[in-house]
Structure 1
Amino acid sequence: MNASGGWGRLEHRLDAIARRMRSLEWGDEYRRASFVPYDMEPDQPYVTVDGRRLLMMSSYSYLGLAGDQRVIEAATTAVEHYGTGNHGVRALAGTIPLHEELEAELAAFVGRESALVFTSGYAVNTGVIASMFGPDDTLLVDKTVHASLIDGAKLAGATVIRWRHNDPEHLDRKMHEVQSTGLRVVVVDSVYSMDGDIARLPEIREVADRWGALVMADEAHALGVIGKTGRGIEEHYGRDDLVDVKVGTLSKGIPSMGGWVAGPERLMLFLKYHARPFLFSAALGPAQAGAALEALRILDQEPERVTHIQRESARLRSTLVDAGIDVGQSETAVIPIICGSDGAAYDYAMAVKGAGVIGLPVLTPAVPNNLARLRISVTARHSPADVDLAANAFRLAAYQTHLIAA
């Protein structure tokens, strides 16, 4: 590579992360702890790392279906019937019957007329926002929404106004700042992935209606997690009129890959021809579509998985709070253990690992300064005994690292 050419001018950007890691006394250890390949047990919430069997408490597979034999068989059957890939993009030979079955059942499950499946949640969020909105529009975005929603707003060229996390009163004040006569769109996560709290959607909807705004909600961490049967934020609040555009993933509660958007049928028609990540990306693979469809059907048939998640996560939160551990505003399966500095979070994660549990640290800039944390989640695979084991490990590690007083 020519160091004096374009590559040389790129070096300072590539060096930025290395400089940051070198500035931390524990940087080398953290690099060795990042991007670790975990040998997952298909039917248990345990992983093997360096020959040790450890309880995984940072999984996104909320429903515990990633190793479910029914889901595996559905993926295998799809591959046997359709092959390992599709013949093109959805518009040109890439659509298979599984796509349309999945879209129809997703729409019905989340209470919408129609749905569309993309190849990832990131593609959904960027594609939907960038195609639906433009430079004349204003997106009022909760400060802690997923990065993909912000990226979609940038691609749209829309004005972005960020409001304090889960604060409808601040959203109302920010509405006064909107200068454009274009569309106003309020963007929230139903469940916030690093805090585990739920959007105050009834109040947010009131603000949106007062200003004639649309509401878009990302159900990525809500599907299978909140609501009596795991249908997300509207079921949680007992209303069906809170969200105009719903988006979500197929890679968390639903243990596959891909993303989805649901809404009026005419909106799905529009997105088929205008959402570039849908129109110009290869279609979702048969195995992923088959696995997602079967997992969705299991969720529909086994709502007790949702009940288990809600009961055991509430019990773990209560145990941690009683021990003096800060879990922020969590009210779902996602439980942050707030440590403070990046170094404190890393040290705590290593102490937890020493006690037989994996709890992964989330550091700046993914979270604000001095709010580094372990991101914990309870899944349907965690038995009450697993939750007790984890709680004991978190308490012991908190004493060892002086996160709480002995």
Structure 2
Amino acid sequence: MNASEAWRHLEPKIEAVGQRIKQLEWDSSRRNNFVPYTADGNTPYVLLEGERLLMMSGYGYIGLNGDPRVVTAAKAAIDEYGTGTPGVRALAGTIPLHEELEEEVAHFLGRESAVVFSSGYAGNVGTIGALCGPGDTIFLDKLDHASIVDGAQLTGATLTRFRHNDPAHLDRRLDATEPGGTRLVIVDSVYSMDGDIAPLPELREVCDKHNALLMVDEAHALGVIGATGRGIEEHFEYKVKADIKVGTLSKAIPANGGWIVGSKPFMDYVKRFARPFLFSAALAPAQVGAALESLRILDREPERVTYAQRESARFRNIVKQAGFNTGDSETAVVPLIVGSDQNAWDYATALRKAGVIGLPVISPAVQPGLARLRIAITAAHSRADIDFAIDSFISAARQTGLLS
């Protein structure tokens, strides 16, 4: 069988997906293009096909994307180190800025040491792979991010899922497994599609009872929860700690990359056994410079976090009173759950006509019947921006029959 014949086995699957996308995007002569767009400087607005639209679905929680200080730091890193790195971190790829960033991440998160990866995805895959293998057991929340699931599957360990944010169900799952080997429980601190927070104290209690390690992914918690944006431990007033904390530099921090924090011996271990660290190109200088400056700004300006927390609470209260289903959100991530995939596309289209981008999230990214617009309130949004968005959300929902 030659390559072209082998490829034919994939063609029906590719065609089916293509037809589904086409139907959603073009039904009733509608056109739903939301990308690519150009950021309009250090504002929450974007330029798309000649229109200036208010972006309400971006990850820039503390409003630093395009900040002149961050841009200057990225340019300075290029001037000093060039546009790329000549190797992996373990060989010729490490520059002084990498180690400076790792020190800053560790300091900000209250740990002894840190390791920076090329992406948050690589950080999860690498960390989980360094910790577990055949003979071990990994317990995953049903709504854990895909990078966690993929990382766990690659280890060869036994995988067990427990109900979302349900420590009692986790307890029963742990009870049902034979002791022996590493037992690792992994949760998102803040769930990216729902905006709810993992119950860290209860999870810690269950893990301690069963001698299991607890790992949290702070991707949507850094800069979002905790009085100064330091994540889930600060959110729970440092009454309990996770054993392993990982996260990303591409959400609140407007760069790229992933990180893990912990003791110096543990970080040395990760550097030697996390395959994405060993076999992926080192993070580019501009990204390192941008991330480093952004963390320093977050450290100096916690009022950005305070503002985003206050405004997201105000936003949630208003849209819930208007009749929207926001699930269990308690953070800057606010889902507007509208039911079918078609409803989500119709609603997003009506919003764009009103001057707002609210991006639809449909199955299989969420369960069928729970399609939504994933909204994020950021420090870049003024109160006037948020009020305009609220009015647009309500009017577009009435126009499309989602609200009466």
Q: Same fold (TM over 0.5)?
A: yes
2:300 paired residue number: 301
Distance across 2 between alignment mates of 1:49 and 1:21: 21
Distance across 2 between alignment mates of 1:353 and 1:186: 40
Change (3 A) 1:66 1:169: same
1:115 paired residue number: 114
CA deviations 1:23-50 (Å, max 9, x no partner) are: x455568996356111111211001112
Deviates most, 324-333 or 25-34? 25-34
**Are 2:20 and 1:20 equivalent residues in the alignment?**
yes
Change (3 A) 1:9 1:16: same
TM-score, length basis structure 2: 0.96
3-state SS in 2 of match to 1:94: coil
**Are 2:150 and 1:151 equivalent residues in the alignment?**
yes
8 Å contact 1:314–1:332 — kept in the other structure?
yes
Deviation at 1:112, TM superposition (A): 1.0
Segments of 5+ residues of structure 1 without an aligned counterpart are: none
Distance across 1 between alignment mates of 2:26 and 2:238: 47
CA deviations 1:207-265 (Å, max 9, x no partner) are: 11111111000000000010000000000001164201100000010000100011111
3-state SS in 2 of match to 1:235: helix
CA deviations 1:52-100 (Å, max 9, x no partner) are: 1111000101111011000000000000000111121111111111000
For 1:179, give the aligned amino acid: E
Query: 1:239-258 counterparts in 2 under 5 A?
Result: 239=238, 241-258=240-257
**Are 2:13 and 1:9 equivalent residues in the alignment?**
no
**Are 2:74 and 1:82 equivalent residues in the alignment?**
no
Query: 1:37-48 counterparts in 2 under 5 A?
Result: 37-48=36-47
Distance across 1 between alignment mates of 2:115 and 2:282: 11
Change (3 A) 1:276 1:35: farther
8 Å contact 2:201–2:240 — kept in the other structure?
no
Change (3 A) 1:334 1:30: farther
For 1:146, give the aligned amino acid: H
For 1:21, give the aligned amino acid: I
8 Å contact 2:244–2:261 — kept in the other structure?
yes
Distance across 2 between alignment mates of 1:133 and 1:232: 25
Change (3 A) 1:73 1:138: same
Query: 1:352-371 counterparts in 2 under 5 A?
Result: 352-371=351-370
8 Å contact 1:137–1:180 — kept in the other structure?
no
Question: Percent identity, aligned pairs only?
Answer: 60
Deviation at 1:309, TM superposition (A): 0.4
Deviation at 1:305, TM superposition (A): 0.2
Deviation at 1:14, TM superposition (A): 2.6
Deviation at 1:404, TM superposition (A): 1.5
Distance across 2 between alignment mates of 1:346 and 1:4: 35
CA deviations 1:257-315 (Å, max 9, x no partner) are: 10001111111111111111000111111100000000000000000000010000000
8 Å contact 1:126–1:151 — kept in the other structure?
yes
Distance across 2 between alignment mates of 1:31 and 1:158: 46
Aligned residues: 404
1:321 paired residue number: 320
Change (3 A) 1:82 1:177: same
Distance across 2 between alignment mates of 1:284 and 1:228: 29
Distance across 1 between alignment mates of 2:73 and 2:21: 43
Query: 1:44-83 counterparts in 2 under 5 A?
Result: 44-83=43-82
3-state SS in 1 of match to 2:260: strand
**Are 2:165 and 1:201 equivalent residues in the alignment?**
no
Deviation at 1:4, TM superposition (A): 5.1
2:398 paired residue number: 399
For 1:17, give the aligned amino acid: V
TM-score, length basis structure 1: 0.96
Change (3 A) 1:171 1:369: same
For 1:397, give the aligned amino acid: A
2:212 paired residue number: 213
3-state SS in 1 of match to 2:381: coil
Distance across 2 between alignment mates of 1:336 and 1:124: 26
Distance across 1 between alignment mates of 2:399 and 2:27: 22
Change (3 A) 1:285 1:3: closer
**Are 2:197 and 1:188 equivalent residues in the alignment?**
no
Change (3 A) 1:3 1:208: closer
